[in-house]
Amino acid sequence: MSADRREWPLYEVFVRGKRGLNHVHVGSLHAPDDAMALRHARDVYTRRNEGVSIWVVRADAITASSPDEKDPLFAPNGDKIYRHPTFYEIPDDVPHM
């Protein structure tokens, strides 16, 4: 599942809409590198709202659990490539602790 060589790597995007909230996964996008990924995330997912905090992380840097680790029949892929746009489902209103 090596990435298409003509294609920029996939990034997952996390946005904190307001101070006091957690960063929430909002989607993914392609970018040649981290700096560009941040720029793209700002354009695509926040319409460049000021005061919004954004995290981007390369999708292939995410290690993911399997939905049901105990099931020996579930065959994990073994690699770390985990293309999954909504990995962390955290309610928007979880307060900052």
Q: Which of 86, 88, 90, 94 binds another protein (CB under 8 A)?
A: 86
55 binds another protein (CB under 8 A): no
Q: What is the DSSP string of 18-55?
A: STTB--EEEEEEE-SSHHHHHHHHHHHHSTT-TT-EEE
Asked if residue 93 binds another protein (CB under 8 A), the reply is no
Residue whose tokens read 């690699």: 79
User: Residue 4 Cβ, how far from another protein at the closest point, in Å?
Assistant: 4
Q: Name the minimum Å distance from CB 66 to another protein.
A: 6
8 is an interface residue for another protein by CB under 8 A: yes
- Say how far apart CA 37 and CA 45 lie, in whole Å: 11
